[in-house]
Structure 1
Amino acid sequence: MNTAPAIAISLCAVCLFLQPGGCEIVVNRYASRSTMILGFSWENCDGAGQPAVLKSLALSPDPITIPGDLKASAAGSTTVAFTSPLAVNLTLEKEVAGFWVKVPCMDNIGSCDYADACLLLDTAIPPGQDCPEPLHTYGIPCHCPFKAGDYTLPETDFYLPNVDLPYWLTNGNYRIKGVLGINGKELGCLKVTLSLHSN
């Protein structure tokens, strides 16, 4: 059983929003806070019109508490292989006084362009090293290339460790748009909305 690149990238989009450097450990220039994610929702930008489509993504509980336990399941499909360089373009917006304002890219958080998500995966999990659980148990790949096909991640328990957010990432409503592409061709697009509360 495998998981689609679209699933991995959708979760990575949230991770990149929360932590700079492709979900690496955040340095101590940020203040440590407990965080809650409320009202998480998602949708494909263009329905089923693109090669990569996320069919389902369920996260519980709501709110999601960090640090804390999380249940996640997902399914998706892609009609094309995902190979390097796999570009990821993220647009992060925050609601301010009823208007959506684009958050610039700062310290690899915000509206950032990543030239190759495959390299981010190789940085997080060195090639030749076993994929982390639960990926290893289900035989889910964690490096490019990802083959075309249908993919499913059954309901799985995760523990979310503490996240150190930058001081400027304040409480509020956010929306994230993530676009996948190879050589200028858009392969998939996902929109995520959530509310962030930290103390």
Structure 2
Amino acid sequence: MAAVFICILVGLSLASGEITQLQMTNCGSSSDIQIRQVSVTPMPIQVPGDIHLSVDGSLTNSIGSSKMTLSIHRKTFLGLEVPIPCLLHVGSCTYNDLCTMVDQMITENWAGIMGGIGQQVNTMLSSVGVNASQCPQTPKELHITDYTITIPTIPSILSWFAAGDYHVNVKVNENSTGRLLLCLDLQLSVTEHKDPGSSGWLLGRRKRRSQHRK
């Protein structure tokens, strides 16, 4: 159960567009995992900034060790989708064991930002009685209401995560059997937070180019 919402958060935290509301489509999830509603505001997501997350879902059967495959594409003005690579465990990556994923995010601090995000996810799930490291996860209801997650400035090494519209696909497969547990397609937008004193990832790149020309 915890893995479902970790997947969503990782996708959202790293992904100005025209989408004004998170769009979510079930693309083949099993009956073991039911996600009835997910709300993320503001949309477009402002980076850096706060997102407010609400989730209504449930786990109907126990789920053990599982693998998550995350595929992120940025949409272009031509209607094409450009794949986002996997770098430093961030992007279109495969995470082999969701039982240890959050702890690994925190201890290894992927890309210098995911440790703080992992801590926030841990606190959020703990507040509703979910242990992200528990394996297997036992049947339970999950209700998260307007929880605030702070998204930091994206470091220059991940500069391809530019503002725009994104298509995020999340798949979770049970490791012991390969059975598909979860498949979600998400459509969302990201914009850079407009702060005159900010050195965010887009603004920072413009400054460096300007200084280089001098």
Fold match by TM threshold 0.5 = yes
Partners of 1:133 and 1:37 in 2: how far apart? 31
Task: Report what 2:195 is aligned to.
Answer: none
Q: Deviations over 1:47-99 (max 9, x none)?
A: x6542121111122233323323322101122232322x10011122223212
The structure that is helix-richer by fraction is 2
Higher strand share: 1
The residue number in structure 1 matching 2:133 is 143
Larger Rg: 2
Cα pair 1:41 1:192 within 8 Å, conserved? yes
Cα RMSD over matched residues?
3.0
**Residue 107 of structure 1: how far off its partner (Å):** 3.5
Greater shift in the superposed pair: 185-194 or 70-79: 70-79
Name the counterpart of 1:91. Answer: 71
Distance 1:163 1:36 in 2: 17
Output the CA distance in 2 between the equivalents of 1:147 and 1:177: 25
Give the equivalent residue in structure 1 for 2:206: none
Change (3 A) 1:5 1:148: farther
Asked whether the 8 Å contact 1:82–1:144 carries over to 2, the reply is no
Is the 8 Å Cα contact of residues 171 and 196 (structure 1) preserved in structure 2? yes
Residue matched to 1:29:
none
Quickly say closer, same or farther: Cα 1:43–1:4, change in 2 above 3 A: farther
Deviations 1:110-166 (A, max 9, x none): 32222112222222357xx9x843433333322132212322112323333333251
Length, aligned pairs only: 175
Once superposed, which parts of structure 1, at least 4 consecutive aligned residues long, lie more than 6 Å away?
none
Output the TM-score relative to the length of structure 2. Answer: 0.67
Change (3 A) 1:45 1:57: same
Q: Residue 154 of structure 1: which of 145, 148, 154 is its match?
A: 145
Question: Which sections of structure 2, spanning at least 5 residues, go unmatched?
Answer: 108-118, 193-201, 203-214
Q: What is the percentage of aligned positions where both structures have the same residue? A: 24
Give the superposition deviation at 1:38: 5.3
Q: Which moved more, 1:114-123 or 1:98-107?
A: 98-107
